[in-house]
Structure 1
């Protein structure tokens, strides 16, 4: 134990005696660890934000949408979910509520105008049930009602971002705006939800489903999505299985034939995005970790120089009775300490970079440094010091005391 403490004290003394050289030696480790921590903190912050956003949908929510494989798309085929599928689900699936079809009557986006201001945004036709299924809450006014749908009223519910882009008053309820060449009256504005993966969740316009079908024209070819809520969360998987079997039968799919639709829970969608983020974290983290290897080589080179400089000192220590393992331990602890200090500095610098980047980018989630990233950074730094410190330490330990004392 005394030998360990003395070796650590000697290592710190040597690092302090050559402070600038020690800093330059650790620079590779600092840059490597800072790069890894910065990347991990930014991506993990994004992952945490995605999880929070999907939690807002409710653990018992389901979404159904058409899915076209790459091979089918290359053949010019597009699978769709029709109004008949929606009616089939309503008629045959129990234990569900807030079943809401939705689609985009103007394809992906539409021009929205108010006076001299205009913007392009997502416009969706939805039913009253969409509010509960997607957890949409009005900040001003009200949401779409069943009576709006039945009477085909030209009314709309807008997101907070649309209000900002069109420079509407704080409470624009009752204002008329032009959507795709048609005039609509604003009856409500949604609460702000921010951004997710670069997409503003407040940039949308909702209109009654029947109005959307009238604008789209041929309702037989509508490709809709369906959102719904399972009444009992314990029955979530059972309802998901029933939906899958029902739609396979309705689409005349044979056993072994892949589904032309997707039934997903909010958790599955969250897991999918988190899996993508985790893979990206590993790939990018692995690439920037190469700089740790460069830093390790730098430590080995400087430690070899240090052994050469202290050859006479090593000879004196051996002549006074120091054993081989004492010398080995001293230089190994010095290399590890140098690397670990670089790791600690890199950890702080990396978090500062991640935090700074997340604040510079508008609406980007805050950086998050998970505990495993901290352990990985410090553990890998120590490992680099041990691995690249073995050769210089072994060289010092194997010196012949007489040759070392005669060294000039």
Structure 2
């Protein structure tokens, strides 16, 4: 224990005695660790934000969407979830608390909305009153869609804050009329603003009753409907998924050897896929920037070899007065580890700061988030680099012949 404490004391004194050289030695480690932490913090901040977006869906929900494989798309085939599919799901909805169909005006795009000479483009969707709970929409003014709005095909609309601003509607737009698809729709509600996510506004939308949207689309556009189901009992999830798959395959006249042209997913499946993608990105990008840690380790080994040469006579004196081989080995090895760990600590602090600055510099990007495992890996890898690249200089010092070392000039 005494020799270990003395080795640490000697390492600290050596680092202080050559402060600037020690800083340059650890610079590679600092750059490597800070780059790794910065990359991981930005990616993990994005992952944390995405997971929060899915938390509101609950574990007892199921989503159904159309899916067309690339080969089928090349043949000109496009899969859809039709109104007949939705109706068939309704007829076999045992164990389902409510069904929320969502019909968009365009596929993957925006549609124009007009008000007093102003025109803005927004995501327009036709849905039911349950959509408010599914998407966690709070109403600032007015109300959300009701059951009777959908049943009677009322020409009403609920809008987001971004669309209100773009159309120059009053702060409280309830009672105003906007034009969509050639029809005048009464604004009955304004949603609470939800801000932006990854640079895209979450408030640039308008919501109509589902049956009203179907009427506006008419027969000119074959609908592709996104369906969400809330289950009464989460234990029935697998059973209901299997039943839905059977219903849709029958509806779409799929042969036993044909793949599904739809996806039945739970929030856990969606977040799992995103988490897997982000984990892969973290490993790949972290691996790329961590190459500089290897470069930093080579720098430490180089300087430690120089240090052994400079202190050859000192090593000879230590051995002459009784220092054992393992004492010398431990002294130089600890010095290399101390250098590496100092670089790692500075790199962690600097990397977190760089990650925060990078996230803040990107408009509407989620805040950086540094998980403890990333700090632990960076710190541990710094120590490993110190040991790996410090062992050769330490061994060289320990193997010096004391007589030759004392004669060294």
1:243 aligns with 2:240: no
Matches within 5 A, 1:153-168: 153-168=154-169
Q: Which residue of 2 aligns with 1:258?
A: 259
CA deviations 1:297-344 (Å, max 9, x no partner) are 111111111111111111111111111111111111000010011101
Q: Check if 1:73 corresponds to 2:73.
A: yes
Q: Does 1:123 align with 2:124?
A: yes
Aligned equivalent of 2:48: 48
SS at match of 1:206: strand
Within the alignment, does 1:92 sit opposite 2:92 as a pair? yes
- Greater mean alpha carbon deviation, residues 369-378 or residues 97-106: 97-106
Secondary structure at the aligned position of 2:178 is classed as strand
2:332 & 2:75 partners in 1: Cα distance? Answer: 66
Change (3 A) 1:102 1:178: same
The residue aligned with 2:307 is 306
TM superposition shift of 1:152: 2.8
TM-score (norm 2): 0.95
SS of 1:221's equivalent in the other structure is coil
- Label 1:274 to 1:195 Cα distance change in 2 as closer, same or farther (>3 A): farther
1:195-224 per-residue CA deviation (whole Å, 9 max, x = no partner) reads: 334433222111122222222222782111
- For residues 14 and 116 of structure 1, the distance between their equivalents in structure 2, rounded to whole angstroms, comes to 76
Offset, 1:181: 4.6
Residue equivalent to 1:101: 101
Which residues in structure 2 correspond to 1:91-240 (within 5 Å)? 91-107=91-107, 108-115=109-116, 117-218=118-219, 221-240=222-241
> Contact (CA 8 Å) 2:329, 2:395: kept in 1 or not?
yes
- Determine the structure 2 residue equivalent to 1:21: 21
Q: 1:299 to 1:116 in 2, by over 3 A?
A: farther
Partners of 2:168 and 2:361 lie apart in 1 by 25
Q: CA deviation at 1:284?
A: 0.8
Q: Does the 8 Å CA contact 1:96/1:228 hold for their aligned counterparts?
A: yes
CA positional deviation for 1:16: 0.3
- Find out whether 1:395 has 2:372 as its counterpart: no
State whether residues 79 and 260 of structure 1, in contact with CA within 8 Å, keep that contact through their aligned partners in structure 2: yes
Asked if the contact 1:83–1:220 (Cα under 8 Å) also holds between the matched residues in 2, the reply is no
* Other-structure match for 1:34: 34
8 Å CA contact 1:61–1:265 kept in 2: the answer is yes
Aligned with 1:322: secondary structure?
coil
Aligned ranges 1:334-349 → 2 under 5 Å: 334-349=335-350
Which deviates more from structure 2 when the two are superposed, residues 95-104 or residues 108-117? 108-117
Conservation of the 8 A alpha-carbon contact between 1:65 and 1:225: yes
Q: Secondary structure at the match of 1:259?
A: coil
Whole-angstrom CA distance in 2 between matches of 1:266 and 1:392: 54
Q: How many residues align?
A: 408
More divergent stretch after superposition (271-280 vs 27-36):
271-280
What CA distance in whole angstroms lies between the structure 2 residues aligned with 1:388 and 1:226?
A: 58
Which moved further from structure 2: 326-335 or 93-102?
93-102
Q: Is the 1:123–1:206 contact (alpha carbons within 8 Å) kept by the matching residues of 2?
A: yes
Post-superposition CA distance 1:371-396 (Å, at most 9, x none): 11111010000000000111111111
Indicate if the aligned counterparts of 2:128 and 2:210 stay in contact, CA closer than 8 A.
yes
* Deviation, structure 1 residue 24: 0.8
How far apart, CA to CA, are the structure 2 residues paired with 1:24 and 1:103? 61
Please list the CA deviations of residues 238-286 of structure 1 after superposition, one character each: whole Å capped at 9, or x if unmatched. Answer: 2222211221222222334211101111221122111111111111111
What RMSD over aligned residues (CA atoms) do the two structures have, in Å? 1.8
Query: Does the CA-based 8 Å contact 1:50-1:274 persist in structure 2?
Result: no
Deviation at 1:123, TM superposition (A): 0.9
Secondary structure, aligned partner of 2:322: coil
Instruction: Work out the CA distance in 2 between the residues paired with 1:396 and 1:118.
Output: 78
Please give the alpha-carbon distance, in whole angstroms, between the structure 2 residues aligned to 1:227 and 1:303. 63
Q: 1:129: Cα distance to partner?
A: 2.8
Report SS of the residue matched to 1:301: helix
Per-residue displacement from partner, 1:339-382 (whole Å, max 9, x unpaired)? 01110111111111112222333332222111111110100000
Please report how far the alpha carbon of residue 289 of structure 1 lies from its aligned counterpart in structure 2 after TM superposition: 0.8
- Cα distance in 2 for partners of 1:167, 1:382 equals 60
Please list every run of 5 or more consecutive structure 2 residues that lacks an aligned counterpart in the other structure.
none
CA–CA distance in 2 between the matches of 1:299 and 1:233? 57
Task: Please give the TM-score of this superposition, normalised by the length of structure 1.
Answer: 0.95
Q: CA deviation at 1:160?
A: 2.2
